[in-house]
Structure 1
Amino acid sequence: MTERGGSIDNEWDTTAYDDGHAFVFEHGRGVVDLLDVRPGERVLDLGCGTGHLTHEIADAGAEVVGLDSSKEMIETARETYPDVRFVRADAREFAFEEPFDAVFSNAALHWIPEQDAVLAAITDALKSGGRFVAELGGTGNLDAIISAVRTAAAQRGYDIENPWYFPSVGEYATKLESRGFEVRYATLFDRPTELEGGADGLAAWLDMFGDSLFESVPDADREEIVADAERELRDEQFEDGQWIADYRRLQVIAFRTTGRIELTE
């Protein structure tokens, strides 16, 4: 989850990311299972973050490349896994000379509103018959948290928009099919997720992942908005000393069956 609003210039605290939000890559292990790596395959991990899943794909026998827009994420990944190749690039416009058997992505693509550009780059990166295996936030993802923050911000005169891309199964399958993919698996499901940090877990989550949500809010007002959102959410999202984020995930497996299709308006 390393693109913020599609920008390549955002800064991440990778220590806090790994130590306080490990659920991001821990849940991603199920997506690695969907990838079903075959030894010797070339695999691109798109939005690789600190590289933990990239390393697991390499351990399964693949020739893997991890790609991320974040300088901090790539530096940490290279330090942690020096035997794995990591590249810093923008997910909307990357290119490689040699195509891949598979493109994998976990918890990254919903950060990028320009999804057509991302899918065009993925199409170009895959061999004919290559597969795209991904998990991202789906429609309804984080509705309760986003609504509470928007309500609290509106009470102070700030209009907050949802900065993320959370598609439905139908919407995303249509995008893939329009680019010549055959969608063989797509599912949307709830994944209530405990946030680490106890009573401070929601504030810590918003501090790590909420910069784009609070883009129009001055720092001086942000803390009070978070506190108001916590009060609104506490009855439904706080249990046994833990905050529960209302995650909904979309998983997809699609195969490239044709060359790139140029879309027209």
Structure 2
Amino acid sequence: MTDGNEWDPDDYDDGHGFVHEYGRDLLTLLDPEPGERVLDLGCGTGHLTAALADSGAEAVGIDASAEMVRRARETYPSLDFERADARTYAPERSFDAVFSNAALHWIPGPDHDAVLSTVADALAADGRFVAEFGGHGNVRRITDALEAELAEHGHEVAHPWYFPTIGEYAPRLEAHGFEVASARLFDRPTELDGGEDGLREWVGMFGDEFFDGVAAAERERVLDAVEDRVRDELFDADGETWTADYRRLRVVAKM
């Protein structure tokens, strides 16, 4: 996670647990071996770091959010968590693998060369990097509606998240010495918790940067209008469930 959003660990775990649950599939792809040192980059509240440790790996979790790191340490006191910026992190020892789930899209695009330098420097020879994050077109219906409604209310908003294409990201990896073993961009429609309020709660969890300088009452009016814009496409009235139009970019790269 990065400092651009205000992270609430309770809300994150209780209302958005799908984030780390989907990440367990990525752990299978990583296939950590007992004794390997693995860095969990953007560890959040630490659930996947704990799963790495359960596999026998020596896991270290880093996150830029003090609140998330505090919760991870409380929940898993025997594990190693550090508050650190992925753009500048400099570990004392190298890692056999770097793992990252649903975190890199929070870091601005221009800063990803610094992130990839961090990852490359942190890896031992023949180390591997396995990551999944928002890819090109991720939650486009939602962000298009947010931007349109904010513009109608007189607010100019620059899209705060980074959702690259394979063609954009693979060369960035190669420029930092990685061999891209695989890269996949795929749709993953994701049901949101919270029933009728699910979309609003999702924006409340992840979308602070859209509402910088927007008063609370106006924010609610914008969210009402956003719901109206996307309801036909994203809301199942029978099941009272919102489904976010997630698209993910999954990469496996080796030094």
Question: Same fold, TM exceeding 0.5?
Answer: yes
Match of 2:49 in 1: 54
Residue by residue over 1:112-162, the C-alpha shift from the partner in whole angstroms, topping out at 9 and shown as x without a partner, is: 011111111111101121000000000000100000111111111111221
Structure 2 counterpart of 1:196, one-letter code: D
Displacement after TM superposition at 1:4 (Å): 4.4
Report SS of the residue matched to 1:49: coil
Matched, 1:226 2:232: no
**Counterpart mapping for 1:1-265 below 5 A:** 2-5=1-4, 11-113=6-108, 114-239=111-236, 240-256=239-255
Query: How far does the alpha carbon of each residue in 1:32-69 deviate from its partner, in whole angstroms, 9 at most, with x for none?
Result: 11111011000000000000000000000100100001
Number of aligned positions between the proteins: 251
Please list every run of at least 4 consecutive aligned residues from structure 1 whose deviation after the TM superposition is greater than 4 angstroms: none
Cα RMSD over matched residues?
A: 1.0
Distance in 2 (CA, whole Å) between partners of 1:246 and 1:135 is 16
Quick one: distance in 2 between partners of 1:153 and 1:238? Answer: 21
Kindly state the Cα deviation for residue 216 of structure 1 after the two structures are TM-superposed.
Answer: 4.3
TM-score, normalised by the number of residues in structure 1: 0.93
Q: Does the residue aligned with 1:110 lie in a helix, a strand or coil? A: helix
- TM-score (ref. length: structure 2): 0.96
Cα separation, 2, equivalents of 1:195 and 1:255: 34
| 3-state DSSP of counterpart to 2:185 | strand
Once the 2 structures are TM-superposed, how far is the Cα of residue 90 of structure 1 from its aligned partner?
Answer: 0.7
Gaps of 5+ in 2: none
Conservation of the 8 A alpha-carbon contact between 2:3 and 2:65:
no
In structure 2, how many angstroms separate the alpha carbons of the residues matched to 1:49 and 1:39?
A: 23
Which amino acid in the other structure matches residue 204 of structure 2? D
- State the alpha-carbon separation in 1 of the partners of residues 3 and 22 from structure 2: 20
Alpha-carbon distance in structure 1 between the residues aligned to 2:213 and 2:182: 38
Residue 160 of structure 1 contacts residue 216 of structure 1 at CA under 8 Å; is this kept in 2? no
Identity, in percent, stands at 59
